[in-house]
Amino acid sequence: MSRDRLSPDAFDALCASHRDGFSLPQAFYGDPRVHALDLERLWRRRWLFAGHASRIAQPGDYTLFKLGDDELILTRNAQGEARALFNTCTHRGSALCLEPCGHAAKFVCPYHQWVFDADGELRSARNMPDDFDKASFGLRRAHIRELESLLFVCFAEEPPDFEPFANAMRPHLKLHGLPRAKVAATRAYELRANWKLMAENFFECNHCPTGHPEYCKAMAGITPPPRVEDREAERAHVETQRAWVARRGLAQQLSFEAGGWFHLNHMPLRPGFVTQSLDGKPVAPLMGEHTAYEAPAFAIVAYPNFWFEAGPDVAVTLRTLPRGPQELSVEAEWLVHADAVEGRDYDLERVMGLWKATGEQDWALIENNQRGVNSSRYRPGPYSPASEGGCRRFVAWYLDQLRKA
């Protein structure tokens, strides 16, 4: 067996060893050969969330997006169109952009000074003959799409169809006015865990009652109120928030079965909570088409790396990227109205409060999970049919991606 790649027989045997309704065999959570297969057959073939479009607000702005050994320059051309260019010079392969973000009228190779424009076209090739065909040596492109100021990229030559996702999400996202939003805060985390353990954690709330007290305090339906009269009040409040969604002609929920790799849900808050904050009170000015603090929380999940939750005054994006068999980067961004002024219109700690607490609780749980999975005595355990169906669905989707040669 190759040290770097799984043989077809070994791969078939590993997949066959998975028992439906159970977590994955240990190798899926740490074997470097499985990690390489994940990158090749899944991550480089799927649409990946890259961040809010304010990263490249103006022509010439750029930011880097890294997956494995590949790195993309995300930028805008003179017409304002988003571009994703491989950060490798077509002369002898040097990286072009060395800083993680910045502004460049042209991309100049630091090695031999070949010059490229924001469309990737080669404009100058120093010391090449007069008849050199510059048109044949433009930068390689990846696919990029912009959906309500959310950027998605795909490394595949032929990407999956993006339109079902875009068409399903657009009317919901429009409510939140993301093109008129700004990033209030960004927090980056490096986790010692396989990316699939985070995915499984996020696709179940079995751990929420003990793992996320702040989140459970804010969200209806996770843990019942202790008093009967409070349960009745919560049921009435849930119906009021569902009616708010229905009046706008929006789906309450779109399941993974309908779309394959994405899901959306409007999630009612508890009575007394008008947004996802620690105390339930507003944390920032209203965004988008919201005219009052009366909407439920709105959530999107898109395999393999995008999580999104929004209320009437703040939106939170989570972007995950695998960095190794047991290494994972997570980036959280909090978005508020573009005109909001910190210190006057919002307090940053209050804006971040609920999801900073919830996220950091999850990071500890996920790393603890990896620590136990690494044990010589780890064996796959059963998912709860009542509360961990999302894990089972994700694992089935994941294995299907790997089986696609």
pLDDT (tens digit, 9 = 90+) per residue, 176-187? 999 999 999 999
Q: E strands along 210-305, which residues?
A: 253-254, 262-267, 297-302
- Average pLDDT, integer, range 275-292: 98
Q: Which of 41, 44, 43, 46 is closest to 8 using CA atoms?
A: 41
Task: Check residue 226 and give its pLDDT.
Answer: 84
The pLDDT > 90 percentage for the chain reads 95
**pLDDT(298) > 60:** yes
DSSP codes joined into one string, 334-397 = EEEETT--BTTTB-HHHHHHHHHHHHHHHHHHHHHHHHHHTSTT----BPPTTT-HHHHHHHHH
The pLDDT > 70 percentage for the chain reads 99
Ramachandran angles phi, psi of 265, nearest 5°: -160, 135
Task: Check residue 3 and give its pLDDT.
Answer: 56
Task: Check residue 269 and give its pLDDT.
Answer: 97
- Average pLDDT, integer, range 234-253: 96
Task: Check residue 259 and give its pLDDT.
Answer: 62
pLDDT band at 229, cuts 50/70/90?
confident
Q: Which of 200, 192, 293, 177 is closest to 244 using CA atoms?
A: 293
**pLDDT(1) > 50:** no
**What is d(CA 284, CA 347) in angstroms, rounded to the nearest whole number?**
8
User: Does residue 382 have a cis peptide bond before it, meaning omega lies within 30 degrees of 0?
Assistant: no
For tokens 């971040």, what's the residue?
352
CATH annotation of 163-403: 3.90.380.10
**What is d(CA 206, CA 194) in angstroms, rounded to the nearest whole number?**
20
**What is d(CA 396, CA 405) in angstroms, rounded to the nearest whole number?**
16
Structure tokens given for 97? 């952009």
**What is d(CA 98, CA 102) in angstroms, rounded to the nearest whole number?**
10
CB 354 within 8 A of CB 276: yes
Instruction: Give me the chain's average pLDDT, please.
Output: 96
| Among the four given CATH numbers 2.40.50.140, 3.40.50.720, 2.102.10.10, 3.30.470.30, the one describing domain 48-154 | 2.102.10.10
pLDDT band at 258, cuts 50/70/90?
low
Instruction: Please report, as a single letter, which amino acid is at residue 155.
Output: F
Q: Which of 195, 206, 178 is closest to 335 using CA atoms?
A: 178
- Average pLDDT, integer, range 16-33: 97
Q: Which of 200, 188, 155 is closest to 29 using CA atoms?
A: 200
Give the 3-state secondary structure of residue 177: coil
**What is d(CA 205, CA 201) in angstroms, rounded to the nearest whole number?**
8
Q: Look up the pTM and report it.
A: 0.96
Of 33-37, 255-259, 281-285, give the lowest mean pLDDT range. Answer: 255-259
**pLDDT(8) > 60:** yes
Task: Check residue 5 and give its pLDDT.
Answer: 83
Domain ranges for the chain: 48-154, 163-403
- Average pLDDT, integer, range 40-48: 97
Taking the CA atoms of residue 159, residue 165, residue 166 and residue 167 in that order, the dihedral angle to the nearest 10 degrees is 130
